A and B are shown apart, each in its own frame.
Chain A
Amino acid sequence: MAHSRFIKDTGLTARMTLVMFLLGGLFVALIVGLMYALPEYAFLIGVVGLGIAWFQWYKSDTLALKAMRARVVSPEEAPELHGMIDRLCAMADMPKPRVAISYSDLPNAFATGRSPHRAAVCVTTGILDKLTAEELEGVLAHELSHVAHRDVLVMTLASSAGIIAGMATRGAQYGAIFGGRRDSNNPAGAAGFLIALLVSLVVYAVSFFLTRLLSRYRELSADRAGAYLTQKPTALASALTKITGEIAAIPSRDLRASKSMNAFFIAPAISGATMQTLTSTHPSLEQRLEQLAKVSAELGRPTEGGFPAPGFDR
């Protein structure tokens, strides 16, 4: 009888479902609000916004690699890195992503791509220098989990409401100023633009916090799946400690230069002090280490002659 050491984290799943549900509701609220306020423009704004989101998702691998000035490397150029990813993919039964290296001292790694078949995993030279082979493998397993979970797709979908709201805000501003002047004898039109502006602003703000919250949950999920893949949660934990410790300690221009990429990094490159818990794309180091410790305990638990947790069969 096959026994599984993989326990479901129902709490995390439930929280993630709730956030997704709220984001979906927000999207509907935005569309309904816009259609009510600006019946003639709502369709256009929605289509263009979704088009932008689609483009971001479709071109995500090229865009992200370009933004990080990363280069795709062949197995001959980086045999160790390729060998590591080959083996992890064989264990996880997933297609092998492209492997890229970014020449930056910032110790970091990210995964991108519109689907598991068109994915790329990128590491910086900084992370290759700083981590041991075992720790690097933990980080790669985390990134491969992002690929398997289709996180780029999910996060793009989740942020599409925000993109549309941002566009509508700008459109409504122009509309309220210019449209209002032109149709000064038609106060209803200007009011419509004002309502659209208000709705879009609110949606944008709420969507901002919800996507950040979702991003943190996705990170925790990837940590869990990655730890179960390598079966060494402590290696990932020590890698995270090293990366986040190092990053926080070294302020440099490079940090700000890579700001736009934060959502796809394994550890955020900037740790802001204000409202950090609400707006950060990554969970705190303590939260992540705590979860990895749980996985570690689960892996070390004896089965035969041991005491399985109550309410948990197989």
Chain B
Amino acid sequence: MSFWDSLLGRSKPVQANLDALFGLPSAAITLQTAMGFAPTGIGSVCYREAEGAAFAQTQADIVSLLNADEGPDVERSVDEYGYTWLVTRQDPSDMAALVTDLHAVNTTLEAQGFGPGLLCSLVGFTDPGGRRLGLVYLYKQGTFYPFAPGEGQRRDNLLEIQVRDLLAGELPIEQQLQRWMPVWGAPGL
């Protein structure tokens, strides 16, 4: 916020930064070759629903757009914090298609002026041992961080740090560890 903005008490909503999402396909290959984590083919977008007819219309447009291809339908759910998750599924080998889906959601929301409501995106991975890993994209920072849920409400922090160091060259990784918010029970993980 600039000096004048804080003096005049006006803060503009932060717009989402979508650029880094397209780095995901190459990062997925690295994850698979170096650590054995394969994509699950499930991705989700988490956003804040605005009230009013305009948002309902926009959301209906997104869902029908994503359902237009042959493949499983989009699932929509609301979590306990009041955020909406749109879960989209693609062939696990086709990471690019998944990213295109996620990007379609983002651009549609943004074009309708709801970009400030975007919270994060999540792409799921799993290894043969059954460990789960999510790469979370923070829209406002334009950065990724790993989230590895374990048993109950425990995170596998060691795995997360390993993933961070592995992907440091390929994706913009969130440097502030305080921003590595857990997303417990996120759909699609």
Contact = CB atoms under 8 A, between A and B. Distances in A.
Interface of A: 1-6, 8-9, 13, 16-17, 20, 83-84, 86-87, 90-93, 96, 133-134, 137, 145, 148-151, 153-154, 217-218, 221-222, 225, 228-234, 296-297, 299-304, 306
B82 A133 contact: yes
Interface of B: 1, 5-15, 48-55, 57, 80-83, 110-120, 138, 140-141, 178-179, 181
Given A86-B181, A91-B117, A133-B82, A13 B10 contact: yes
B167 to A, nearest CB: 20
B6 A150 contact: yes
Contact of A151 (B9, B14, B140): B9
A154 B7 CA distance: 7
Contacts of B83: 87
Contacts of A2: 15, 110-111, 113, 115
A87 B15 contact: no
A134 B82 contact: yes
Contacts of B5: 149
A90 B138 contact: yes
What are the 5 closest A-B residue pairs judged by CB atoms, nearest first? A300-B52, A221-B9, A231-B50, A5-B113, A93-B140
Contacts of A304: 112
A172 to B, nearest CB: 32
Among B11, B48, B111, B118, find the residue whose CB has the most chain A CB atoms closer than 10 A.
Answer: B11
A300 B54 contact: yes
A299 B15 contact: no
A92 B113 contact: no
